């Protein structure tokens, strides 16, 4: 990006802003905007954001269903994480704070989808798409106020992603 090095420190880890897919989905919260801060756990793969999880263990365990582990090693790791979350065992994952503008159109869509009536954000998890692919998309798992999965949303932040999501919807 022009104008400087776009790196930030999150949870003590240096991170490239462009690899954080939620920054593209949610509009930036500017000074004076009404915003909400959401604490999340971040699982990285190959140094890139991979799976953003709620801090509540039971929701984090349910959120692992977003990840279709394909290798034996990945399935084992997923099972271990699910058990650790379910039994409230300490899991050392990076933590991130998302500051979301309450007036953001995408945040409003997520609230309406889960029927959240106030300006609070519903609990959610996010599986990041391939950041190297044109039209990179994310899959979000939204939870209702009782902690039950309420909806799955596929979203992207550029024209190619919109085209891919639209094609997926039209083909189902």
Give one DSSP letter per residue of 16-56, joined into a string. Answer: EGGG-THHHHSPPPPTTS-EEEEEEEEEEETTEEEEEEESS
In a domain? residue 63: yes
In a domain? residue 52: yes
More confident residue, 6 or 97: 97
Mean per-residue pLDDT, 146-159: 85
Beta partners for 98?
38
pLDDT at 5: 30
Mean per-residue pLDDT, 2-17: 37
* Cβ atoms 19, 136 nearer than 8 A: no
Sign of CA dihedral 64, 133, 38, 120: negative
In a domain? residue 92: yes
pLDDT at 15: 43
**Phi and psi dihedrals of 79, rounded to 5?**
-65, -40
In a domain? residue 1: no
pLDDT at 132: 67
Beta partners for 127?
51, 139
Mean per-residue pLDDT, 29-39: 83
In a domain? residue 2: no
pLDDT at 18 exceeding the cut of 50: no
Task: Give the total number of structural domains in the chain.
Answer: 1
In a domain? residue 93: yes
pLDDT at 117: 76
Mean per-residue pLDDT, 6-31: 58
The Cα 55–Cα 33 span in angstroms is: 25
For strand 13-16 and strand 35-45, is the pairing parallel, antiparallel, or unpaired?
unpaired
pLDDT at 6 exceeding the cut of 60: no
Q: Which domain holds residue 148?
A: 7-170
Burial 16-37 (b: 16+ CB within 10 A, else e): eeeebbbbbbbbebeeeeebee
Q: How many CB atoms lie within 10 A of CB 74?
A: 13
């Amino acid at each position: 990006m022009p104008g400087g090095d776009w790196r930030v420190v999150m949870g003590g880890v240096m991170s490239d802003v462009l690899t954080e897919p939620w920054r593209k989905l949610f509009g930036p919260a500017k000074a004076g905007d009404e915003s909400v801060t959401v604490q999340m756990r971040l699982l990285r793969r190959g140094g890139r954001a991979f799976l953003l999880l709620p801090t509540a263990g039971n929701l984090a365990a349910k959120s692992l269903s977003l990840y279709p582990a394909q290798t034996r090693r990945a399935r084992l790791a997923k099972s271990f994480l699910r058990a650790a979350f379910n039994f409230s065992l300490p899991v050392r994952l990076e933590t991130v704070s998302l500051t979301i503008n309450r007036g953001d159109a995408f945040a409003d869509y997520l609230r309406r989808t889960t029927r959240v009536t106030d300006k609070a954000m519903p609990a959610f998890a996010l599986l990041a798409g391939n950041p190297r692919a044109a039209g990179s998309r994310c899959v979000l798992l939204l939870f209702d106020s009782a902690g039950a999965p309420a909806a799955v949303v596929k979203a992207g932040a550029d024209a190619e992603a919109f085209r891919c999501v639209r094609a997926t919807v039209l083909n189902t």
